[in-house]
């Protein structure tokens, strides 16, 4: 269980960094920084669907764990993007 929590914390750090990096590098604007969160959400839904339908051995359990990991990435990416959109501009002004 300790390893799983460390893996989830690593995912939070990774997707927060990717979102921050995309916000600094992108020229187009705000929608680009939401793409990691959107991709994680879609992958999480896909693995949740697989966990509900696949009935072979422990495959459904593995898919449920992957779904939780992707939803953790979704929450981290979305949280970081919202912080960059709403909190950081208040400190700059």
The tens digit of pLDDT for each residue in 47-59 reads: 999 999 978 889 9
Alpha-helical segments (H) within 1-93? 2-25, 35-53, 59-82, 88-92
Prediction pTM value: 0.88
User: Looking at 8-12, 24-28, 32-36, 38-42, which range is the least confident one?
Assistant: 24-28
- What distance, in Å, lies between the first and last C-alpha atoms of the chain? 43
């Amino acid at each position: 269980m300790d390893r799983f929590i460390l893996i989830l914390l690593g995912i939070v750090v990774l997707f927060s960094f990717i979102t921050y990096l995309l916000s600094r590098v992108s020229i187009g604007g705000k929608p680009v920084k939401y793409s990691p969160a959107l991709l994680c959400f879609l992958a999480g839904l896909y693995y949740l669907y697989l966990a509900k339908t696949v009935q072979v051995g422990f495959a459904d359990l593995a898919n449920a764990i992957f779904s939780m990991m992707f939803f953790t990435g979704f929450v981290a990416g979305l949280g970081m993007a919202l912080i960059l959109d709403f909190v950081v501009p208040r400190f700059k002004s």
